[in-house]
Homo-oligomer: A and B are copies of this chain.
Amino acid sequence: MTQYLVGIDIGGTKLATVVADNNGTILHKVRQPTEAGYGSDYVVSKLIKMVDQTLALVEISRSQISAIGISCGGPLDTKTGIVYSPPNLPDWDAVPLKKILTTEFQVPTVIENDANASAYAEWKFGGGQGYDEVVFMTMSTGIGAGIVSKGQIYHGASDCAGEVGHQILIPNGPLCGCGNRGCLEAICSGPAIARRAQEAIQKQPETEMLKLAGGKITAVKSEHVVAAAQNGDLLAFDLIHQTAFYMGWGIANLVNIVNPEVVLIGTIAVAAGDLLLDPIRRTVQQMAMTRPAQTVRILPAKLGDRIGDLASISLVI
Contacts and interface: CB of A to CB of B under 8 A. Distances in A.
Interface string A208-249: 000000000000000000000000000000000000000001
Contacts of A296: 157
Given A180-B287, A249-B171, A296-B157, A257 B164 contact: yes
Contacts of A168: 249, 252-253, 287
Given A160-B289, A163-B292, A289-B160, A257 B259 contact: no
A163 B249 contact: no
Question: How many identical chains are in the complex?
Answer: 2
A256 interface: yes
A20 to B, nearest CB: 30
B256 A155 contact: no
A261 interface: yes
A258 B163 CA distance: 8
A292 B158 contact: yes
A260 interface: yes
Size class of A's contact patch? 35 or more
Contact of A158 (B156, B249, B252, B295): B295
A132 interface: yes
A190 B163 CA distance: 29
A99 interface: no
Nearest to A179: B290
Given A156-B259, A258-B258, 8 more contacts: A156-B295, A157-B292, A158-B259, A160-B289, A162-B257, A171-B287, A178-B289, A254-B257
Interface of A: 75, 84, 132-133, 145, 149, 154-164, 166-168, 171, 178, 180, 249, 252-254, 256-261, 286-289, 291-292, 294-296
